[in-house]
Structure 1
Amino acid sequence: MSDDRERVFDPGLQPERTALAWQRTALALAGGSVVIMRILPGVIGGAALALGFAGLALALGVLAGSHLRYRRQHRALTSGEPGVLRSGWPVAALTAATLFVGVLCLLFVLLRA
């Protein structure tokens, strides 16, 4: 008898692909944060380090949240019990962070000109 944790619910592996996409997003956030900490301290000073560490914390949060969400979703799908995960907080948080970084970049460009 196979373990429910390893049983695949969807032959197309859609939940697994979604989890991998969130992991790539977390990796991109971490990479961008490291670039911010490497390049921007000469331009904006210590604020670049604070922004970089905040980005790394966000990346870890996205990674942990995606793992927990995948496990909950997999458990709900393989248990046979009706239950749809409708929480949109990961998308909302990532959208807010992207908007924040975009506004910071716009301010940087406008103030340097």
Structure 2
Amino acid sequence: MTAARDPGLQPERTQLAWRRTLLALAVGALISMRVLPDVLGGWSITFGLGGVAVAGLLWVLAQRRHSAVEAVFRDLRPTSAMPGGALLLALACFTGAGAALGLLYALLYQR
């Protein structure tokens, strides 16, 4: 006997959390274009736009993951597997790299 899916809004809350996190990362990348020109010169624009592009890519992948989770919830067979955690790892690596670069900047270049 399989239990029915909880009719709560957990997938929607998770999707909104992804959206907020990736929006914050994109804004952080845009702010880096304002802060880093003194240190990196023209490369700061490359890093900023690259960060926005990665945040956009992760947002598209998060939308796809949300659709896959919804499909698993609609299909209540026990053989249905939830999506893997590769997207979570990518987000953690991107966020950790941004935090490490921010810390490095704060330690080395603040007067």
**What's the TM-score once normalised by structure 2's chain length?**
0.81
Distance in 1 between residues matched to 2:102 and 2:14, nearest whole Å: 29
Q: Does 1:111 align with 2:108?
A: yes
Task: Percent identity, please.
Answer: 39
Check whether the contact 1:65–1:90 (CA below 8 A) recurs between aligned residues. yes
Check whether the contact 1:22–1:62 (CA below 8 A) recurs between aligned residues. no
1:62-98, CA deviations, whole angstroms, 9 ceiling, x for partnerless residues? 2101110011111111122331314111211111112
How many positions carry a matched residue from both structures? 105
**What's the TM-score once normalised by structure 1's chain length?**
0.80
- For residues 79-98 of structure 1, the aligned pairs below 5 Å read 79-82=75-78, 83-98=80-95
Matching residue of 1:70: 66
- For residues 16-95 of structure 1, the aligned pairs below 5 Å read 16-82=12-78, 83-95=80-92
Runs of at least 4 residues off by over 3 Å: none
Q: Which runs of 5+ in 1 are unaligned?
A: 1-8
